[in-house]
Structure 1
Amino acid sequence: MSGWARKRFWKTVEIVEQDGGFAVALDGRAIKTPAKAPLVLPTRALAELVAAEWRAQGDTINPDTMPATRAANAAIDKVRGQFQEVAELLTAYGGTDLLCYRADGPEELIARQAAAWDPLLEWSAARFGVTWNVTSGVMPAEQAERTLARLAAHVEAFTPFQLTAFHDLVAMPGSLVIGLAVTEGQSTPEDLWQVSRIDEDWQMEQWGPDDEASALAERRRQAFLDAARFFAACA
C-alpha cells in the first residue's frame, strides 16, 4: 500500500504494536514507506504524531501537512542506510557554526550576538568538553579537531529517527550548537530559533520586512519546530 495515495481511502486510523515498535494502520492495514518498507516507529509517541496526521487529512492527502510521516519515511528509507554520511554532514556544521561568526559592527548588533550566543557556546563547552574559536568579520575560525571529534561521537549515538530530526535542527539555523541545545532541552525550541535569527532580525529592523524572505523564514521556523517535536517523541 502506498503511503502517498492521493485520495483518502480509509476510515479508521489505529496504532498497533509490531516488530518491536509501533505501526499505524489504516482500516487495519499497516502503512508502508514510499520504498515499501514497514513504517514501524520506535515509540508510541512517534506513532501518535504520525497517526494524528493521517486522521487530520481531508478527502485529498496533503503531504505538506504531514511532517512527522515524512520524517519517519526518511529515517527508514534514507537515513538508516546512510547513517554515517548524515552524521558526518551534520557534525561538519560545527566547523562553521553560526554562533562562532560575529559581526564587526555596529556595536548594538555585536552586543546582541554576544548576549544570545556566548551562553550557548559556554554551555556546550561545559557539556561536551570542547572549546570554540570565535571570529568576527570575514576571518575564518578553524575549530580544533578534538572539538569536532567529541561532538561527532555524540551525534553518532543518535538513532536513525533522532538523526533525521537532528538534520533540520542543525540545518535550519546553520548551527550544530543550537541543534544540540534543542536535543538537550537547554531552552525551548522557539527561543532557540529566535536566537538563530539575530542577524536577520537586525537587517529587518534596519531596512524593513521583505515578504518573500519572511515567508521563507516562517517555513524554516516551522520545519525547525516540527523537527523538535519529532526528536522529543523519539524518547
Structure 2
Amino acid sequence: MSEPYKTKPGVKIPSRENSLPKRFYKAVDVVALDDGFAVHLDGRPVKSPAKRTLALPTRALAELVASEWDVQGERIDAPAMPATRLCFVALDLIPDARAATVAEVTKYASTDLVCFRAPEPPDLIAAQSASWDPVIAWAERALEAHFVPATGLMPIDQDPVALQRVMQRAGELDDWRLTTLAHVTAVCGSALLALQLLAGEIDGEKAFVLSTVDEHYQISQWGEDHEAADRLARLRTELVVMGQVLRALDAAPAA
C-alpha cells in the first residue's frame, strides 16, 4: 500500500481557485456603439482572445455578458462564463469556419440523440418515446425533415433530404446563432433539440431535460454520485444560458 503524498513543510499545492486570474476591475458597464453594444470594465472595452472588441448586436446580449463579468469574485472563472465564451467564439472563429460548422451540425443530425432508442427495459423505452417522439414530429412539421428512430447501437442512414433541410437551416443563420446552434448541438448530442431551442419551441431547461433522459433514468435506478451530479449541473447551466443568449439575440437591438 502506497504512502499518501506529502509536501515539504511550508509548501502548498495551488488550488484551482488560486490559479485563476485575479479580478482587475471594479465597474462593469454596457456602452452603445455605432454598430452594437460593448461591455466595458472600468471604462475599457472587453477584448476577445484575438483582440477584437466584444461588440454585441443587442443590448440584451451585452447585459447578459456584462452580468457574467459583474458577478466574478476575487478571481475570474472563465469556464463559469458561458455567454462570454460563446461570444468570443462567434467573433474570433466562426466567420472563417462557417462551412465546417454547418457540416458538423449536419453530421450530428445524421446520428441524432433523439433517434437512438434503447431495446430495453420497457420503462426506459417509454420515457424515450414520450420525450423524443414529439421532437421528431416537430422536425417533420417545422423543417419538412423526416427522421426515423432506430433501436440499438448501430446508426441507420437518415433521409438525405432531412439532412439537407438541417444543413440549409444552419447555413441561413448569422454567426451568433450558428455558434449557439453548434454549441447546443454538441452539448446535447442532438441537432434537432438545438434547432428547437433556436426556434423558441423549447427553452434551455427543457433542452437539458430532453437531452438527459437516459442519465435521469440511470439515476432513478441506481442513484446519483457526486461526479455525475456535477456534470449534469454544468450541462444544465450551459443550456439555460444558451437559451438566454438566443432570446437576447431576438430582442430589439436598442432594447
Structure-1-length-normalised TM-score: 0.91
1:19-62 CA distance string (max 9 Å, x none) = 41111122322221111112111111111111122222233322
Deviations 1:203-227 (A, max 9, x none): 2222222322222122122112222
Q: Which residue of 2 aligns with 1:49?
A: 64
User: Aligned partners of 2:226, 2:151: CA distance in 1, in Å?
Assistant: 29
Maintained 8 Å contact 1:13/1:25:
yes
Distance 1:208-1:8 versus aligned 2 partners, 3 A rule: closer
Give 1:162's aligned residue: 177
Match of 1:126 in 2: 141
**Alpha-carbon deviations, 1:55-112, whole Å to 9, x = none?**
2223332213322211111111112221221121112111001111111112221111
In structure 1, distance between residues paired with 2:148 and 2:47: 45
* Higher Rg of the two aligned structures: 2
Q: Do the aligned partners of 2:105 and 2:182 also contact (CA within 8 Å) in 1?
A: yes
Distance 1:223 1:118 in 2: 24
Sequence identity percentage: 38
For the aligned residues, what is the CA RMSD?
1.7
- After superposition, residues 210-221 of structure 1 pair within 5 angstroms as 210-221=225-236
Distance in 2, matches of 1:192 and 1:206, equals: 22
C-alpha distance in 1 between matches for 2:75 and 2:154: 51
- 1:103 equivalent in alignment to 2:118: yes
**Number of residue equivalences:** 231
Unaligned runs of 5+ in 1: none
Counterpart check, 1:224 vs 2:239: yes
CA contact (8 A) 1:166 1:231 kept: no
Rounded Cα–Cα distance in structure 2 between residues aligned with 1:140 and 1:69: 35
- After the TM superposition, which residues 75-90 of structure 1 pair with which residues of structure 2 at under 5 Å, given as runs? 75-90=90-105
Answer yes or no: is the 8 Å Cα contact 1:183–1:231 preserved in 2.
Answer: yes
State how far apart, in whole Å, the 1-side matches of 2:123 and 2:172 are: 39
1:198 shift after superposition: 1.5
Amino acid at match of 2:97: Q
Match of 1:8 in 2: 23
